[in-house]
């Protein structure tokens, strides 16, 4: 007669979990992973140690492929993946590079969901969304497929704005600086980290800049006069299109378990993650490190991923063209 399965507490006692990071050491993903690793073990039955191991490569694809095809399916290996990787098999021109099914992953949770901000400087010809539909303006972009490059093109398509993207800035700091210097009229940020908000805060308060729109899945009350893009779209197809484009921001910095992990261990890991996000020690350390904590549950991520993968093919093709 087969022995009954071990409880999570019995299984994890005296063991260590590997937390794979899909990026190099020292970056934002690595920082969040190490922060989580220092605290989540206290909330898992058996209190296992959590050891961070970096596995960069292929835009996050190396770690995701490892998780799906090589990592043991017992709950002893987790990964903190890039926000875009879940949609990569759906939207990339080379899906063969991504050997996983994102719907089958066990999503544990994310410590942060991101929100982009559409900002214009005080000298921009357009100072409102309605004026942006009438007057051409320029915005600084970064690489192909990035938020600062894609989001303005998205708004042109669904709202009829007249934004010309000036691409090629190395990153968001340089793209924002271009707006500050007057090289461009505005910038659509891919996110709004604490460091980013600190940088723009004084210019917003002094009227040198204005936030016209929030770009993401949930509205931030810190910008009450800037509507969420979803609030301006009535067409169902366009709303689904926005959800597809903004899904990586909602996913944020996801912690993921491989497919096939026993359900009771997945449940235990998800519960431990949710408790960690409310842990006073964890939050105090996050504040000291200037880390934004806006958690998303694993169940929420799984639902959004399922919904996006079930969207009509024409919407996926539309998104693929936007990212080229």
pLDDT tens profile 271-299:
999 999 999 999 999 999 888 899 999 99
- Could you tell me if 125 and 241 lie in one domain? yes
* Cα–Cα distance for residue pair 262/178, rounded to 1 Å: 50
- Could you tell me if 122 and 223 lie in one domain? yes
Q: Is residue 3 part of a domain?
A: no
* pLDDT band of 94, cuts 50, 70, 90: confident
- Could you tell me if 106 and 193 lie in one domain? no
Q: Is residue 143 part of a domain?
A: yes
Residue 168 has pLDDT above 60, yes or no: yes
- Could you tell me if 264 and 242 lie in one domain? no
Q: Is residue 2 part of a domain?
A: no
Q: What is the pLDDT at residue 1?
A: 44
- Could you tell me if 215 and 266 lie in one domain? no
Sort strands 255-257 and 163-166 into parallel, antiparallel or unpaired.
Answer: unpaired
* pLDDT band of 324, cuts 50, 70, 90: low
Contact 23, 82 (CB under 8 A): yes
Q: Which of 211, 246, 281 is the last residue of a domain?
A: 246
Mean pLDDT (whole number) for 26-38: 93
- Could you tell me if 148 and 208 lie in one domain? yes
- The phi and psi torsions of 126 (rounded to 5 degrees) equal -110, 125
Q: Render the burial of 239-251: b for 16+ CB within 10 Å, e for the rest.
A: ebbbbbbbbbbbb
* Cα–Cα distance for residue pair 61/86, rounded to 1 Å: 10
The CATH code of the domain that includes 194 is 3.40.190.10
Q: Which of 246, 275, 310 is the last residue of a domain?
A: 246
pTM of the model: 0.86
Residue 197 has pLDDT above 90, yes or no: no
Cβ contacts of 175 within 8 Å, gap of 6 or more: 140, 141, 142, 148, 169, 187
- Could you tell me if 68 and 189 lie in one domain? no
- Could you tell me if 149 and 227 lie in one domain? yes
Number of domains in the chain: 2
- Could you tell me if 168 and 59 lie in one domain? no
Q: In terms of residue numbers, what domain contains 299? A: 8-113+252-322
Mean pLDDT (whole number) for 5-30: 90
- Could you tell me if 259 and 237 lie in one domain? no
Q: Which of 190, 223, 246 is the last residue of a domain?
A: 246
- Could you tell me if 150 and 51 lie in one domain? no
- Could you tell me if 97 and 138 lie in one domain? no
Note the pLDDT tens digit of each residue in 198-248.
Answer: 889 999 999 999 999 999 988 988 999 999 999 999 899 999 999 999 999
């Amino acid at each position: 007669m087969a022995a009954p399965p071990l409880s999570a507490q019995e299984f994890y006692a005296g063991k260590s979990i590997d937390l794979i990071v899909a990026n190099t050491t020292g970056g934002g993903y690595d920082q969040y992973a190490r922060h989580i690793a220092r605290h989540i073990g206290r909330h898992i039955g058996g209190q296992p140690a959590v050891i961070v191991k970096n596995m960069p490569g292929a835009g996050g694809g190396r770690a995701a492929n490892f998780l799906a095809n090589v990592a043991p399916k017992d709950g002893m290996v987790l990964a903190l993946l890039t926000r875009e990787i879940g949609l990569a098999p759906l939207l990339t021109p080379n899906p063969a590079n991504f050997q996983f099914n994102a719907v089958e992953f066990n999503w544990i949770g994310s410590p942060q969901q991101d929100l982009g901000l559409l900002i214009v400087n005080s000298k921009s010809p357009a100072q409102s969304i309605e004026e942006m539909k009438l007057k051409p303006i320029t915005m600084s972009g970064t690489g192909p497929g990035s938020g600062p490059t894609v989001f303005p093109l998205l708004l042109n398509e669904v709202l009829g704005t007249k934004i010309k993207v000036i691409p090629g800035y190395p990153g968001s700091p340089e793209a924002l600086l271009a707006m500050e210097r007057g090289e461009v009229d505005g910038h659509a940020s891919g996110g709004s980290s604490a460091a980013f908000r600190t940088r723009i805060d004084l210019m917003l308060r002094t009227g040198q800049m204005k936030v016209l729109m929030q770009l993401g899945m949930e509205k931030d009350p810190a910008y009450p006069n800037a509507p969420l893009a979803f609030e301006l779209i009535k067409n169902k197809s366009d709303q689904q299109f926005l959800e597809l484009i903004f899904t990586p921001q909602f996913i944020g910095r996801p912690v993921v378990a491989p497919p096939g992990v026993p359900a009771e261990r997945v449940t235990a890991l998800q519960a431990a993650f949710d408790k960690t996000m409310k842990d006073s020690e964890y939050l105090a350390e996050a504040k000291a490190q200037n880390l934004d904590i806006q958690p998303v549950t694993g169940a929420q991520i799984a639902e959004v991923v399922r919904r996006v993968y079930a969207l009509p093919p024409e919407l996926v093709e539309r998104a693929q063209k936007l990212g080229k």
